[in-house]
């Protein structure tokens, strides 16, 4: 297959995954903890994680930025610039770690290790970013955000990254087989 044809396939696949991501967040999003209704679960990262698994961390990060901006200007506009930044940082931290670790070796063992390290990275990074931006977003002091860290913010990030990561791994191989067959 020629390089042009491979590039076209990659671009089309990433575009499709990005569109699916936006549609998913438009229809599926809900707060996980009543204490923090601004922390909503959505499955929008699943297609991004699959794109990262297919094409590596650079493609995953590019897809993250594009999807975050599109979502932030359309279906998630209420969260504004802070929501866009938080999505890029959260998902981006995961896809960089996950993508780097699975880039050359996509074995089940390696993928599970990458998944766990991606989840831990996402959660740690978001603990810091929540301390920086959540006070601005909800208009509360940093101390109040610290009080939310253990009962809500940390578990939310573990749940969201974990659920989306596990689903992406479970369906990723099937999706890749379909993409290879259809294109």
- pLDDT tens-digit profile of 128-147? 999 999 999 999 999 999 99
* Residue whose pair of structure tokens reads 């922390």 in the numeric block: 39
Instruction: Give the number of other Cβ atoms within 10 Å of residue 77's Cβ.
Output: 11
Residue 182, domain member (yes or no)? no
Task: Read off the pTM.
Answer: 0.93
The structure tokens listed for 22 are 């936006």
- Here the CATH number for the domain that contains residue 103 is 1.10.1760.20
Residue 112, domain member (yes or no)? yes
Residue 107, domain member (yes or no)? yes
**In total, how many domains does the chain have?**
1
Confidence at residue 99, expressed as pLDDT on a 0 to 100 scale? 97
Residue 35, domain member (yes or no)? no
Residue 34, domain member (yes or no)? no
- Could you list the residue range(s) of the whole structural domain that residue 95 is in? 3-27+41-177
> Residues 6 or more apart from 159 whose CB is under 8 A from it?
32, 41
> Residues 6 or more apart from 76 whose CB is under 8 A from it?
25, 29, 83, 87
């Amino acid at each position: 297959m020629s390089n042009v044809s491979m590039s076209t396939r990659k671009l089309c696949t990433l575009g499709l995954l990005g569109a699916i991501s936006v549609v998913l967040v438009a229809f599926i999003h809900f707060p996980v903890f009543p204490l923090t209704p601004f922390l909503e679960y959505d499955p929008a990262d699943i297609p991004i994680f699959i794109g990262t698994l297919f094409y590596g961390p650079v493609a995953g990060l590019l897809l993250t930025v594009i999807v975050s901006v599109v979502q932030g200007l359309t279906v998630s506009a209420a969260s504004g610039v802070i929501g866009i930044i938080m999505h890029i940082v959260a998902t981006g931290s995961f896809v960089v770690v996950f993508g780097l670790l699975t880039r050359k070796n996509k074995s089940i063992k390696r993928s599970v290790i990458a998944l766990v390290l991606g989840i831990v990275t996402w959660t740690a990074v978001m603990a810091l970013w929540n301390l920086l931006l959540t006070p601005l977003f909800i208009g509360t002091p940093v101390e109040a955000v610290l009080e939310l860290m253990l009962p809500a913010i940390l578990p939310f990030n573990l749940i969201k990254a974990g659920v989306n990561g596990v689903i992406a791994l479970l369906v990723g191989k099937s999706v890749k087989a379909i993409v290879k067959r259809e294109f």
